[in-house]
Chain A
């Protein structure tokens, strides 16, 4: 393969990130720095009950005893946690927006640009088929279809509202999957998380529409720390989507979120992410550090949690959506596409912990590395003594585009029960030159050919995504790899 010519190469790499704009909006931001006072101040501003404030403070004190993890195959200068601001909220005229009319038009404009429908009237026009909780910097700004969902008993909205309206549920579940002592970033999140989404699907309810959270980082020099808590009670079903973008800035920004999923008996949760944070420019300047802890707990028998992720953005991704398969016959799934281009680094994978009998898990991971990027799959399959007849199948494929990038695979297989059947397979290959040649022959240029081949490579994962997301993901993949021909 050859670079067509320098000029078109540059054009391609420059047009990469279309969500890089900044929204000019008045914000209410806490001064930079982190101490107990800041943690208490965040809690006070959110009018939280005392137990939550104390929980945050406990987490903060624990965090001060920790050191950042260094085992991941990523490199970045140490983060100065005192230089970050831990709270940034768009200023609102009224305390809580009652309807979309109360939301700053600038904000609505932002979401419109991002293609996120916040107006419910759009559903009538056939635009929106999902309920969206939009999180702007640190706070949730709008939740659509709240009423429709309430009719079937589903609670869906911002985390802060849930703390006020359903404190018993929050208290019962918060930190039960990702405890505040879990890891460096999760502990930091527990201390300073500002908002996020909360969702509760009651017994036997099948959520009538896709639920979605849209995360947007806007302010500079802030960290975004949201927390998502999703509970599917007995026999419930929910499909949940998450999307993310951020403006194009020269500094690196930290995003340290926590997602906790709980599936009770016979419940099913499908959690899909399309992560498209700003990846930094070609030289690796700027971009988001995406250090996220996501974990699902199959608490009841026959429950199922399925993670699907398409990771195209972020300067650094450090993310391992996991499943703890505690209930008998529970099922965990992980489908992932991680694309890294230019100077991006991704260290991502999953953990499947088999505890219950006849538990099953499937891991399909596709890593694509281009430019000077480093893409690592790191995963663990653990079968404990009690997990009779556990079954796991893992497949990790990597594709390399260009000779300056790296693809790495680090699985950990940890088996303590002889009835387990565990299989792991990994392959690493170059993008097929004959395939590209064949496409060229049929009149497709090399860019298009790569996009086509890569999409085919990722098909197993894309077919798990909900319809709207699958289309977006395919387009995103094309954009992320533009300029990678070399």
Chain B
């Protein structure tokens, strides 16, 4: 579909349905009227925010627009295309995105820039590609659209990082579409450090062919109100999808994670581990749905959501869901909510560790389980430090 046509369809869809309300089951616990009732400007300015690249190649977006001066993509091996989505419109654009979602429709209708990454068949990229989104423009809305295509037997790591200037209010509304061809190995990371007064919404959709290894890690620390929609479609046999995440929330932050894993074919595995630490008046929503279609025999799906509550006033809504139409499957999900284990704290005290330190150790250990699964050492180290800082 031509981009213009795609935009018009999306705009019409958005116009007809508007923003979701809490009467919509998928938005039951997340009220987006604050976004709906805000007028966003279309002004633009360059950003003064600092950033630190986590790989040899990086694209920097200043308030939603790619800055070629700040970016670095020279030295990319042959068969790797990285640039602005506006210069590389792939015919598959918009195929994956969930047209039911108002946020995706708003993005499709109005995206102004975004990253385009294409890895040719058999190409393996050693260094991660770091996508950095800087936001420091009060009252603005950024619709960023990313398109990532990994060819057959290719290998790539992409890190998306959203950085916001503290005390600025804006609406960041991103969509990332990932196509993973047969035998590819794709690691996708997202580090969200938006301003604590901003709105952040993102939909990540991945389509997996045969024998794909795909991982998605989301680290959420920022935004006043936000949501991640992560949707995986397993369309080829023998693939494995890992979707892990960590959300650290405080003040009055509200963050929603909606995971959807669609097993359409036999012999695929999906593993999901989401952990949350909530402090002060924070509120978290986790909804993880695993769909196993009738033909998807020998599916192995495991999902777990664990939440640590640090203070009175926090709220958690956890909705792990299994929808299974095949019989020869192994599917489990679990959810826990609780405080730190008093006995563990006591044990540490008997070993001479004071309660405050013990508290910090146990909390870090709780979060560390997600970090342990991270393959990229740059991400592991960076996020590890962010978690430490958050805890202090």
Chain A contacts to B: CB under 8 angstroms: 71, 385, 398, 400-430
Q: Are A428 and B294 within 8 A (Cβ)?
A: no
A422 touching B297 in the complex, CB below 8 Å, given contacts A71-B25, A401-B327: no
Instruction: With CB as the reference atom, state the residue of chain B lying closest to A424.
Output: B335
Find chain B residues with CB under 8 A from A411 CB.
318-321, 335
A402 to B338, CA, bound (A): 38
Q: Are B316 and A415 in contact, CB atoms less than 8 angstroms apart? A: yes
Mostly, the B contact residues are: strand
* Contact residues of A: prevailing secondary structure: strand
Quote the shortest CB–CB distance from A31 to chain B (angstroms): 38
- Tell me whether B324 and A418 are in contact (CB under 8 A): no
CB < 8 Å: which of A71, A405, A412, A427 contacts B331? A427
The verdict on A428 contacting B309 (CB below 8 Å), with A409-B322, A411-B319 known, is no
With contact pairs A407-B322, A415-B337, A418-B312 given, residues A426 and B332 touching in the complex (Cβ less than 8 Å): yes
Nearest neighbor of B323 in chain A, beta-carbon distance: A408
Closest Cβ neighbor of B28 among chain A residues: A412
Other-chain contact of A430, B322, B329, B338 (Cβ < 8 Å): B329
Q: Which listed residue (B297, B324, B327, B338) contacts A420, Cβ 8 A?
A: B338
Q: Which residues 301-334 of B sit at the A interface, judged by CB distance below 8 A?
A: 307, 309-312, 314-334
Task: Tell me, rounded to whole Å, the shortest Cβ–Cβ distance linking A402 to chain B.
Answer: 6
In the bound complex, residues from chain A placing their C-beta under 8 Å from that of B332 are 425-428
Is B316 in contact with A408, judged by CB distance below 8 angstroms?
no
Contact A422 B337 (CB under 8 A): yes
- Complex alpha-carbon distance, A428 and B291, angstroms: 12
Determine how close the nearest CB of chain A comes to the CB of B205; give it in whole angstroms.
23
| A415 B315 Cβ-Cβ under 8 A | yes
* Complexed CA–CA distance, A400 and B307 (Å): 30
Chain B: minimal CB distance from A54 (Å): 32
Give the shortest distance, in Å, between A434 (CB) and chain B (any CB): 13
The complex places the Cα of A423 from the Cα of B306 at a distance, in Å, of 9
Interface size for B (C-beta < 8 A) is: 34
**Cβ contact within 8 Å between A400 and B312:** no
- In the bound assembly, the distance between CA atoms of A261 and B206 in angstroms comes to 49
Looking at the assembled complex, report how far the CB atom of B248 sits from the nearest CB atom of chain A, in whole angstroms. Answer: 15
Q: How far is the CB of B317 from chain A (nearest CB, A)?
A: 5
Query: Does B350 interact with chain A (Cβ within 8 Å)?
Result: no
- Indicate if B354 sits at the interface (CB-CB under 8 A): no
* B4 adjacent to chain A (CB < 8 Å): no
CB proximity of A435 to chain B, nearest CB, Å: 14
Docked complex Cα distance between A425 and B318 (Å): 12
B300 to chain A, nearest CB (A): 11
Asked if A423 and B327 sit within 8 Å, CB to CB, the answer is no
**Which residue of the partner chain, among A400, A412, A421, A425, contacts B334 with CB atoms under 8 Å?**
A425
Give the residues in chain B near A416, CB-CB below 8 Å.
Answer: 314-315
Interface presence of B339 (CB below 8 A)? yes
CB of B333 within 8 A of CB of A418, answer: no
For the complex formed, measure the closest distance between the CB of B34 and the CB atoms of chain A, giving whole angstroms: 21
Considering the complex, which residues of chain B in the window 271-316 have a beta carbon less than 8 Å from any beta carbon of chain A?
294, 297, 307, 309-312, 314-316
A32 CB to nearest B CB, Å: 34
Instruction: Report 30 cross-chain contacts, Cβ distance below 8 Å, ordered by A residue.
Output: A403-B294, A403-B326, A403-B327, A405-B327, A406-B324, A407-B324, A408-B323, A409-B320, A409-B321, A409-B333, A411-B320, A411-B335, A413-B319, A414-B315, A414-B318, A415-B309, A415-B315, A415-B317, A418-B310, A418-B339, A421-B337, A421-B338, A422-B336, A422-B338, A423-B335, A424-B318, A426-B334, A427-B330, A429-B329, A429-B330
CB neighbours (8 Å) of B315 from chain A are 414-416
In the assembled complex, the Cα of A411 lies from the Cα of B329 at a distance in Å of: 20
How far, in angstroms, from A423 to B297 measured CA to CA in the complex? 28
Cα separation A417 to B336 with both chains bound (whole Å): 13
| A419–B338 CA distance with the chains assembled, in angstroms | 6
Give A56 Cβ to nearest chain B Cβ, in Å: 30
Are B320 and A403 neighbours in the complex by a CB distance under 8 Å? no
Q: State whether A406 and B325 are in contact (beta carbons under 8 Å apart), knowing that A415-B316, A415-B337 are contacts in the complex.
A: yes
Complex alpha-carbon distance, A400 and B294, angstroms: 12
User: Do A403 and B328 contact each other (CB < 8 Å), given the known contacts A413-B319, A424-B320?
Assistant: yes
Q: How far is the CA of A424 from the CA of B335 in the complex (A)?
A: 5
Q: Identify the closest chain B residue to A433 (Cβ).
A: B328
Known: A427-B330, A427-B331. 15 other contacts (CB 8 A): A400-B326, A401-B327, A410-B321, A411-B318, A411-B321, A413-B316, A413-B317, A418-B314, A420-B309, A420-B337, A421-B339, A422-B335, A422-B336, A426-B333, A430-B327
Cα distance A401–B327 in the bound complex, in angstroms: 7
Q: Contacts of A405 on B, CB cut-off 8 Å?
A: 325, 327
Pairs A-B, 6 closest by C-beta atoms = A418-B309, A400-B327, A413-B318, A409-B322, A421-B338, A428-B331
List of A residues within 8 angstroms of B314 by Cβ = 416, 418
Q: Please, how many angstroms separate the alpha-carbon atoms of A403 and B299 in the complex?
A: 13
**B328 proximity list for chain A (CB < 8 A):** 403, 430
Q: How far is the CA of A417 from the CA of B278 in the complex (A)?
A: 11
**Measured between alpha carbons, how far is A380 from B34 in the docked complex, in Å?**
28
Compute how far the CA of A158 lies from the CA of B173 in the bound complex, rounded to whole angstroms. 61
